[in-house]
């Protein structure tokens, strides 16, 4: 039995015949090779999970839903980080991979669960080429307790010392907020929730929604 899928988890088990009739041909073709799908933030009926299919081209993204009972394998961003496969990647000179090698011990030291998402996470988990030399490093950090904005600013300085572009999302109990936005000065920030984006003053206190 798999744990409840979270946003950015990779799921295996979806077959072309599971897709609705209106699904594009490229999405069916992608699933033919046992490609995983990515859990996305959206409402889902009981027994289902919202997910997206990645195609070969950047613009090929298809949003749909998957039955929980069809999941044969689940890999979380945190499991990707723990596996450490980037250390043996064929292109260690890519900025995203250099940044990951540099930041991993610092992130481990935080005592918070962190993971790799985006194209690099997809490639590291599936073995399917998805990243390229210009790929950003996309990270997720689970933050069950409130993190001060001063802490976020210090984290941004740490990321800025690493090569390439790095996007880190803080996963609060209510959704995700960009680290760089929480590190800013604006009184309200964008929180990505299952029901859609919300402007909030504190991502850990959902009732403080801005009017």
**Which residues have a catalytic role annotated?**
136, 138
Token duo for residue 115: 């993971």
The string of DSSP letters for 139-180 reads EEEE--S---HHHHHHHHHHHHTSSS-EEEEEEETTEEEEHH
What stretches of 51-204 show up as alpha helix (H) in DSSP?
77-83, 95-108, 118-126, 149-160, 179-182
Distance, CA of 36 to chain centre:
14
Residue bearing tokens 């990951």: 100
Using a 10 angstrom Cβ sphere, with 0-12 exposed, 13-18 middle and 19 or more buried, the burial of residue 210 is: exposed
Measured distance CA(74)–CA(108) in Å, rounded = 22
Measured distance CA(14)–CA(111) in Å, rounded = 34
Nearest alpha carbon to residue 159 among 101, 103, 87, 119: 103
Give the CA radius of gyration of the chain: 18
């Amino acid at each position: 039995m798999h744990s409840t899928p979270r946003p950015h988890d990779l799921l295996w088990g979806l077959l072309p015949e599971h897709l609705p009739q209106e699904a594009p041909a490229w999405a069916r073709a992608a699933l033919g090779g046992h490609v995983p799908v990515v859990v996305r933030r959206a409402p889902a009926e009981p027994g289902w999970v919202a997910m997206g299919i990645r195609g070969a081209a950047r613009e090929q993204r298809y949003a749909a839903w998957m039955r929980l009972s069809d999941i044969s394998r689940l890999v979380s961003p945190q499991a990707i980080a723990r596996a450490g496969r980037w250390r043996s990647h064929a292109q260690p000179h890519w900025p995203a991979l250099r940044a990951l090698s540099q930041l991993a011990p610092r992130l481990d030291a935080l005592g918070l669960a962190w993971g790799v998402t985006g194209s690099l996470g997809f490639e590291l988990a599936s073995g399917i080429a998805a990243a390229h030399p210009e790929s950003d490093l996309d990270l997720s950090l689970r933050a069950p307790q409130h993190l001060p904005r001063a802490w976020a600013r210090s984290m941004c300085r740490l990321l800025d010392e690493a090569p390439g572009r790095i996007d880190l999302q803080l996963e609060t109990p209510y959704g995700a907020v960009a680290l760089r936005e929480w590190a800013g000065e604006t009184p309200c920030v964008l929180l990505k929730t299952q029901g859609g984006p919300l402007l909030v003053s504190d991502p850990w206190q959902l009732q403080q929604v801005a009017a």
